[in-house]
Amino acid sequence: MKAWKALVCAFRWEMLLFVRGRIGWILAVGMLVSGVGEGISIRLLPIQFWTDVSISVLLTTLLITLAIGEIAQQGNEYQGAKLIWSTPIGTTSYLWGKYLCLLTIALGFSLEQGTVAILTDWIFVWHWPPLMYGHVAFQSLGIAAYIDLWWKYMLWPMLLGTSLAYSLITILKGQQIIVYLAVIILWITSYNQVLPGWLDVLGMSFHEKSAGSLAVALDKVLGPAEQTNLILTTKPMETAMNLVRMNILMEGASSGFLANRGELLLVSLLLVWITVGVVGWRRQRYV
């Protein structure tokens, strides 16, 4: 069998199994809630912008990573290995096909979250001002800012999370508790910024400085009432949104940040490569 056909076969069937399962629906609802929450909180409390983004990235990527572990587990759960490995399919093609499917699922859901956040931000301005938030008639943060946030902060933890969950579940033959504990510990310590920069999965330690300067700038623009979401007046809020927008777009340019993201990509690929190696070795040595 040609390698690419085997890869497509593994991808398609893994996707069908996922579509038929329940976890997709749960995850879709979770991403909807997360997206709406992010859109509203950024809009209402721009002074807490980076806190909101950090929480959103933490919850979204953690939830998706754990779900990926659950999806990857399906093969072990139904003990399909004996059937699969007694066929002539190539180990590399099959495992890469499965991984790419899981990655597609992970990125798809993180995109759903981002899209919902953009729509929330947009609808919040457009449809409801006269009824509920007439005093919040200022420009939305805009699609570009959300896309920028997505590729800088969502994409890379998603990549690593998918590889990590997939690799550990496969290599440890479905030891879910160990895998989930490892992921949760890594994510929480990264969120609390107790890890060195090169281990910062969420990348939140890299915008600490600019987050501080943004807070100072916003403090000058917004009065105490606007900062606590009591009265949001148009003019200062538009200025605040512009400040946030500029802050986002400026973020992620440091060499440390780029090195961290590149490292996450390399580690992700390495994990899949190791998984292919281990399973291939087991299959060849019949362990």
Partner 1 sequence: MIRLDIEQVSKQYERKRWALKEISLSLQAGTIGLVGPNGAGKTTLLMMLATLLAPTTGRVTWNGIDIYKQPKQARQVLGFMPQKIAVYPNLTAKEFLHFIGELKGLYGKNLHKQVNDCLEMVNLIDDANQRLKSFSGGMLQRVGIAQALLNDPRLLLLDEPTEGLDPTERIHFREIIASLQGERLVIISTHIITDIEAMANNLILLQKGRVRWEGNIPELIAKAEGAVWTAQMSVEEFERLRVTHQISSAMKTSNNRMEARLVTDIQPIAGATLVTPTLEEAYLLATSQRSLAADAEVK
Are the CB atoms for 168 and 278 separated by under 8 Å? no
- Answer yes or no whether residue 13 interacts with partner 1 by CB under 8 A: yes
Angle between helices 155-171 and 49-77 in degrees, nearest 10:
30
The residue among 13 and 133 lying less far from partner 1, judged by its C-beta, is: 13
Binding mask 60-89 for partner 1 (x = CB under 8 A): --------------x---xxxxxxxxxxxx
The residue among 220 and 285 lying less far from partner 1, judged by its C-beta, is: 285
Sequence letter at residue 12 = R
The residue among 83 and 177 lying less far from partner 1, judged by its C-beta, is: 83
State the distance between the two ends of the chain, measured CA to CA, in whole angstroms: 24
CB of 78 to partner 1, least distance (A): 5
Please give the C-alpha separations between residue 68 and each of 82, 158, 170, 187, 276, in angstroms, as whole numbers: 22, 10, 12, 15, 18
CB of 84 to partner 1, least distance (A): 6
Size of the site for partner 1 (CB under 8 A): 26
Q: Which stretch binds partner 1 (CB under 8 A): 60-68, 212-220, 265-273, 279-287?
A: 279-287
- Answer yes or no whether residue 21 interacts with partner 1 by CB under 8 A: yes
Sign of the CA dihedral with 5 first, then 11, 14, and 17 last: negative
Among residues 204, 189, 185, 183, the alpha carbon closest in space to that of 256 is found at 204
Find all residues with CB under 8 Å of 1, minimum gap 6, and list them: 88, 89, 90
- Answer yes or no whether residue 281 interacts with partner 1 by CB under 8 A: no
Question: What residues from 211 to 240 belong to the interface with partner 1 (CB under 8 A)?
Answer: none
Q: Which stretch binds partner 1 (CB under 8 A): 2-10, 105-113, 210-218, 265-273?
A: 2-10
Sequence letter at residue 77 = E
CB of 30 to partner 1, least distance (A): 21
Count the neighbouring beta carbons within 10 Å of the beta carbon of residue 230: 9
CB of 93 to partner 1, least distance (A): 10
Please give the C-alpha separations between residue 21 and each of 25, 67, 186, in angstroms, as whole numbers: 8, 11, 27
Contact with partner 1 (CB under 8 A) among 25, 131, 224, 285: 285
Give the interface with partner 1 as residue ranges (CB under 8 A).
1, 5-6, 9, 13, 16-17, 20-21, 74, 78-89, 94, 284-286
